[in-house]
């Protein structure tokens, strides 16, 4: 999330009760969790396991729960609870909005677009031209819908990111300040759920088509002209290239990428990145020829066992 105007780091420290370590004269341009930070952003880290990763990131400003030497080009904001400080800043910059109208007064709907009864369009939503929004669709605040987009009934666009911090006996919820962005000529089937980014955007690229009951997690990016069949599940921060096909019930774990023109066959799942231009099968997914050989060998195991027993 980029701020409308840069905020002096001293003001953020005062607001959150943090202590500035290093250059206190800078201004913060935006906020992002670690996978999407850019120069000028503020992020947070609250576990020593991730210190080096976060300190080496593009983030200029970092909430941290330990006083350490300040790396070159960084400003640290020391606090006992970086998650809470970051969350408080997020809430102040994008408070939750409540609209009692079916179509919020601040929403913009382009020429030629049709919104059916019982759809809900939240504050600051932008819908392009010649779109069709079917009944019972929910589009959360700040979502962006391109031109000629079709969204079928009971789908939800821009719901809160599924992001929590365990506190031993309970979980603290991360306040969502990101958006869901749907580009031109996308069709979204019925019962689909596309979460907003934590503090960046969840993106569905131009011309991509979703079957019914597809889930896309926070901060994921789906490229152009992809096909996502029914019950596909995509976890947070997944990067999917262009012209990718995911068949029914395919699943992708968080923080991985899928190259252009890859195919993941039905009921397959992967927790590692997949190269483009190849077809994959199984759990964990392997190239289809290798996976087929493995399945064939597994089927042979009972007969092989019987032969071994008779030796």
Share the mean pLDDT of the chain: 96
Which structure tokens are listed for 168?
């031993």
Q: What are phi and psi of 210, to 5 degrees?
A: -110, 130
pLDDT at 310 over 90: no
Which structure tokens are listed for 211?
């079957």
Q: With cut-offs at 50, 70 and 90, classify the pLDDT of residue 293.
A: confident
Concerning whether 218 is annotated as a catalytic residue, the answer is yes
How far is residue 166's CA from residue 271's CA, in Å, rounded to a whole number?
A: 23
pLDDT at 300 over 90: no
pTM value is: 0.94
What integer pLDDT is reported at residue 237 of this predicted model? 97
How far is residue 109's CA from residue 127's CA, in Å, rounded to a whole number?
A: 5
Q: What percent of the chain has pLDDT over 90?
A: 92
User: Considering 175, 215, 218, 225, which one is annotated as catalytic?
Assistant: 218
Tokens 């997020």 correspond to 90
Q: Lowest mean pLDDT: which of 140-154, 163-177, 290-304?
A: 290-304
Give Cα separations from 138 to 29, 112, 117, 194 (angstroms).
Answer: 31, 19, 11, 11
Q: Which fold has domain 108-289?
A: UDP N-Acetylglucosamine Acyltransferase; domain 1 (2.160.10)
**Spatial contact of 266 and 272, defined as CB atoms under 8 Å apart:** no
Distance between the two ends of the chain, CA-based, in angstroms?
68
What integer pLDDT is reported at residue 294 of this predicted model? 85
**For residue range 5-31, what is the model confidence (pLDDT) as tens digits?**
999 999 999 999 999 999 999 999 999
pLDDT at 181 over 90: yes
**For residue range 209-243, what is the model confidence (pLDDT) as tens digits?**
999 999 999 999 999 999 999 999 999 999 999 99
How far is residue 56's CA from residue 38's CA, in Å, rounded to a whole number?
A: 12
What integer pLDDT is reported at residue 263 of this predicted model? 98
Question: Looking at the chain, which residues constitute the CATH 2.160.10.10 domain(s)?
Answer: 108-289
pLDDT at 62 over 90: yes
What 3-state class would DSSP assign to 29?
strand
Q: CB under 8 Å to 289, separation ≥6 — which residues?
A: none
CATH number corresponding to 2-93:
3.40.1390.10
The mean pLDDT value for 231-260 works out to 98
Closest by CA to 203, choosing from 187, 188, 218, is: 218
Question: Looking at the chain, which residues constitute the CATH 3.40.1390.10 domain(s)?
Answer: 2-93
């Amino acid at each position: 999330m980029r701020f409308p105007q840069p905020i002096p780091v001293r003001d953020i420290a005062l607001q959150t009760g943090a202590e500035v370590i290093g250059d206190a004269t800078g201004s913060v341009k935006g906020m992002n969790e670690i996978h999407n930070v850019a120069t000028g952003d503020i992020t947070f880290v609250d576990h020593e396991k991730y210190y080096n990763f976060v300190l080496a990131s593009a983030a200029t400003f970092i909430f941290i729960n330990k006083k350490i030497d300040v790396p070159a080009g960084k400003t640290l904001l020391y606090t006992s609870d970086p998650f809470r400080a970051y969350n408080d800043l997020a809430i102040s910059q994008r408070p939750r909005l409540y609209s009692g109208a079916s179509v919020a007064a601040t929403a913009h709907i382009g020429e030629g677009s049709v919104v059916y009864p019982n759809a809900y369009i939240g504050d600051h939503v932008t819908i392009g031209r010649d779109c069709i929004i079917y009944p019972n669709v929910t589009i959360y605040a700040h979502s962006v819908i391109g031109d000629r987009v079709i969204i079928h009934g009971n789908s939800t666009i821009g719901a809160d990111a599924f992001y929590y911090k365990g506190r031993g006996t309970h979980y603290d919820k991360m306040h969502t300040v990101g958006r869901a962005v749907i580009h031109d000529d996308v069709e979204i089937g019925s019962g689909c759920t596309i979460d907003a980014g934590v503090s960046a955007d969840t993106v569905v690229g131009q011309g991509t088509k979703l079957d019914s009951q597809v889930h896309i997690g926070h901060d994921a990016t789906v490229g152009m002209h992809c096909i996502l069949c029914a019950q596909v599940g995509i976890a947070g921060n997944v990067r999917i290239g262009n012209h990718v096909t995911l068949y029914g019930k395919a699943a992708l774990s968080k923080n991985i990428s899928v190259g252009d023109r890859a195919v993941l066959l039905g009921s397959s799942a992967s927790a590692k990145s997949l190269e483009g231009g190849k077809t994959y099968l199984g759990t964990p997914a392997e190239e289809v020829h290798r996976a087929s050989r493995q399945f064939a060998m597994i089927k042979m195991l009972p007969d092989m066992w019987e032969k071994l027993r008779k030796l």
